Amino acid sequence: MTKKAAIHPGVLLLEEFLKPLKISQNRLARDIDVPVSRIAALVAGDRAVTADTAMRLAEYFDTKPELWMNLQAAYELQSLRDGEWSEIRARIRPYDPTPTRRGRKPSPKVRTAGPAEGASSNEPVSLQGSLPPLLRSGTGQ
């Protein structure tokens, strides 16, 4: 399986919008009222698309700002996956909903659920049911 290379949104701006429409970086900068250096840095891949820039590009090219923000987010995620994510991930200790005391699991006699309706004295507390759907594991992807 070939690894998919991260493509910076500035490259897409240049290749899919500016070049085909024959719009210079200078003209784009003037038309959306930003410094030319912002567009130059974006096209060079040295600057991220901000919400402000996304709104301006969306208005100019009749697209949605989410397009530009999603391109930026996808680029950053892919760059991290391609880079140091495996090292970072190895240092993460995933959340364990079972309460601990000084690094030890509680004995079965210790009450782990609150006095909420229907809670038994041995049930571990889980946040999964109380989280919004997009934040639950395995959803919103």
- Percentage of residues of the chain with pLDDT beyond 90: 62
Q: Is 94 within a domain?
A: no
Q: How many domains does the chain have?
A: 1
Q: Is 67 within a domain?
A: yes
**CA atoms lying within 13 Å on the CB side of residue 90:** 3
pTM, full prediction: 0.67
Q: What is the CATH number of the domain that holds 35?
A: 1.10.260.40
Q: Is 134 within a domain?
A: no
pLDDT tens string 63-87: 999 999 999 999 999 999 999 999 9
* pLDDT for residue 140 is more than 90: no
CB 32 within 8 A of CB 25: no
How many C-beta atoms lie closer than 10 Å to residue 9's C-beta?
26
Place 112 in a pLDDT band, splitting at 50, 70 and 90.
Answer: very low
Q: Is 119 within a domain?
A: no
The boundaries of the domain holding residue 40 are 9-84
Lowest mean per-residue pLDDT among 10-24, 52-66, 80-94: 80-94
